[in-house]
Amino acid sequence: MSLPPDRLAAALAMAQLTMVAPALEGSYAGGTAATLGLTLLLVAQDAATWAERQARESDGAAALLAEAGAAVPDGHDARLAALDALLAATGEPARVRRILDFYVAISEAAAVTPPPIP
């Protein structure tokens, strides 16, 4: 079995940060290699939860649309677009707050955290 994408990205990140970037330190290429390594670390974080988050976002949007009596389209992006349209149209403060609570939850779950750079 091959490594999953998050483990592969993490390994590539470490190779960039510990082998390539130090060898090119002080140059444009070295800075580029360090940024690539840092970005790969974030990609590794993201890949570890991507599929689960997409499903949770899609299901959460569907539930909010159904609760409002709105049509529930197929597909993650279509559901988020429909939820955006519902938020734009609704004048109910409680519904607005529930949709914004959902946005807070999905954006917090999607956050990635770079390590501090000394």
Tell whether residue 117 is a contact of another protein (CB under 8 A). Answer: yes
Looking at beta carbons only, is 2 or 93 nearer to another protein?
93
- Cβ 1 to another protein, closest distance in Å? 27
> Is-contact 16 33, C-beta < 8 A?
yes
- Residue 104 binds to another protein (criterion: CB under 8 A): yes
CB of 114 to another protein, least distance (A): 6
Tokens standing for residue 104? 């807070």
Identity of the residue, 8 or 106, whose beta carbon is nearer to another protein in the bound complex = 106
CB neighbour list of residue 23: distance below 8 Å, 6 or more residues apart: 30
Torsion from C-alpha of 45, 46, 49, 52, nearest 10 degrees:
180
Binding residues among 62-101 for another protein as defined by CB under 8 A: 77, 80-81, 83-84, 87-88, 93, 96-97, 100-101
Are 38 and 114 contacting, i.e. CB atoms less than 8 angstroms apart? yes
Residues 28-47 as x/- pattern, contact with another protein by CB under 8 A = x-xxx--xx-xx--xx--x-
Exposure class string for 36-63: b at 16+ Cβ within 10 A, else e: bbbebbebbbbbbeeeeeeeebbebbbe
CA atoms within 13 A on the CB side of 31: 3
User: Binding residues for another protein, per CB under 8 A?
Assistant: 27-28, 30-32, 35-36, 38-39, 42-43, 46, 77, 80-81, 83-84, 87-88, 93, 96-97, 100-101, 103-104, 106-108, 110-112, 114, 116-118
